[in-house]
């Protein structure tokens, strides 16, 4: 049997297994592999229930309709379809199937949930150093998230040795795109971290956000620890990624330029960074008259008239 014939005979279930194995070989991040495994698992289950042995345009259309009728949001439907699209594109490249196109569902994107200034104020209310380590650790995690915009997986992998207090820089070694990231260390966070390291005697190789035993905390563990922390502070918990959105919003509203924001967030292109600007465009109206060119010159004219003898 030729290679071409064997590839044609492969089932969707088998090709999904090969895709996941290839993802692992290429060194994709564990959360990414988990995402593909989960959502392609749902896709496989649907194919088995409907006895589909081949993926076609019609099958994709029916699966999309099935997802829409299940009652989940359009965003969730696209989350499912995005995994299927990546798998299908890979299968086409590997000659496991003929060309088909998986289309996303168009929808008006809602503004992401963020932590308002009042929320942030309550969350970064510094605890006493005599409190339990976990409480202080959670406070530090919030400060790191809101002041650097790092992702969850990046945060739990930052060590004490990655913080350069002299040059004011944090080295982020684990990132979504596998590229090392260098984030400026603000003067405020600089002082907070120095005090934290001294108070709890963290060593060079300790993770900044760690377990009481100093072992690395898991993403799942930190997610739920911060959920409890927010609840104790009386703040609605929107998840860890919302801190990244909150950081981006504060940066934009406070007049930070989009190019530096792109570098800090580790975006390979400006597309996602511009997306933040679009999401929080209504916030940009605040105090807009103070910064526009016409307002500036009009104000100067008024001042000159007032001081004219």
> What pLDDT was estimated at residue 307?
54
Query: pTM of this prediction?
Result: 0.67
- Residue 86: count other Cβ atoms within 10 Å of its Cβ: 18
Same domain, 187 and 276: yes
Strand 181-184 to 163-164 pairing: unpaired
CATH of the domain at 140: 1.10.443.10
Helix (H) or strand (E) holding 184: strand 181-184
- Percentage helix, strand, coil for the chain under 3-state DSSP, each rounded to 5: 60, 5, 35
Same domain, 81 and 122: no
Q: Does the structure show a pLDDT above 60 at 133?
A: yes
More confident residue, 40 or 265: 40
Same domain, 83 and 161: no
231 Cβ partners below 8 Å, 6+ apart? 237
How far apart, in whole angstroms, are the C-alpha atoms of residue 158 and residue 132?
Answer: 21
Same domain, 173 and 54: no
> What pLDDT was estimated at residue 1?
36
Same domain, 54 and 166: no
* pLDDT tens profile 91-117: 999 988 889 999 999 876 666 788 988
pLDDT band at 4 (very low <50, low <70, confident <90, very high): very low
> What pLDDT was estimated at residue 140?
97
> What pLDDT was estimated at residue 199?
92
Q: How many helices (H) and strands (E) does the chain have?
A: 14, 3
* pLDDT tens profile 200-254: 999 999 999 999 999 999 999 999 999 999 999 999 999 999 999 888 888 887 7
> Considering the domain boundaries, does residue 107 fall inside one?
no
CA distances (Å), origin 280, targets 111, 115, 223, 290: 7, 13, 25, 18
> Considering the domain boundaries, does residue 103 fall inside one?
no
Q: How many structural domains does the chain have?
A: 2
Mean pLDDT of the chain: 86
CA distances (Å), origin 98, targets 7, 62, 86: 11, 18, 15
* pLDDT tens profile 57-93: 999 999 999 999 999 989 899 999 999 999 999 999 9
> What pLDDT was estimated at residue 10?
79
> Considering the domain boundaries, does residue 243 fall inside one?
yes
Closest by alpha carbon to 146, among 226, 70, 84, 219?
A: 226
> What pLDDT was estimated at residue 281?
55
CA distances (Å), origin 120, targets 101, 114, 115: 43, 10, 6
Percent of the chain with pLDDT over 90: 62
* pLDDT tens profile 250-300: 888 777 778 888 888 888 777 777 766 666 655 555 555 554 556 555 555
Same domain, 76 and 129: no
How far apart, in whole angstroms, are the C-alpha atoms of residue 259 and residue 251?
Answer: 11
Packing angle between helix 12-25 and helix 30-49, nearest 10 degrees? 180
Give the tokens for residue 233: 């502070």
Residue 133 phi, psi dihedral angles, 5° rounding:
-55, -40
* pLDDT tens profile 135-181: 999 999 999 999 999 999 999 999 999 999 999 999 999 998 888 99
Full domain range(s) for residue 216: 117-285
> What pLDDT was estimated at residue 163?
97
């Amino acid at each position: 049997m030729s290679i071409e014939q064997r590839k044609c005979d492969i089932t969707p279930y088998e090709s999904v297994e090969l895709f996941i194995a290839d993802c692992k070989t290429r060194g994709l991040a564990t959360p990414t592999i988990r995402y593909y495994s989960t959502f392609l698992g749902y896709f496989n289950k649907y194919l088995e229930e409907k006895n589909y042995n081949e993926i076609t345009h019609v099958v994709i259309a029916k699966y999309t309709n099935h997802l829409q009728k299940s009652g989940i949001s359009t965003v969730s439907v696209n989350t499912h379809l995005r995994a299927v699209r990546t798998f299908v594109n890979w299968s086409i490249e590997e000659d496991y199937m003929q060309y088909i196109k998986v289309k996303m569902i168009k929808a008006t994107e809602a503004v992401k949930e963020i932590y308002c200034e009042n929320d942030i104020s309550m969350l970064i209310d510094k605890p006493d150093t005599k409190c339990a380590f976990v409480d202080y650790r959670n406070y530090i995690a919030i400060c790191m998230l809101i002041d650097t915009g790092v992702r969850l997986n990046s945060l739990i992998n930052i060590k004490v040795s990655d913080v350069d207090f002299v040059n004011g820089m944090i080295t982020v070694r684990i990132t979504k795109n596998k590229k090392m990231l260098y984030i400026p260390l603000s003067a405020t966070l600089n002082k907070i971290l120095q005090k934290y390291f001294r108070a709890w005697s963290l060593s060079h190789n300790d993770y900044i956000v760690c377990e009481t035993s100093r072992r690395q905390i898991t993403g799942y563990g930190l997610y739920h620890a911060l959920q409890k922390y927010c609840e104790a502070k009386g703040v609605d918990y929107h998840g860890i990624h919302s801190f990244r959105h909150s950081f981006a919003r504060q940066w934009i509203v406070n007049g930070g330029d989009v190019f530096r924001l792109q570098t800090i967030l580790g975006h390979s292109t400006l597309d996602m960074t511009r997306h933040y600007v679009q999401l929080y465009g209504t916030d940009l109206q605040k105090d807009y008259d103070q910064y526009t060119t016409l307002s500036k010159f009009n104000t100067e004219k008024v001042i000159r008239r007032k001081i004219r003898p």
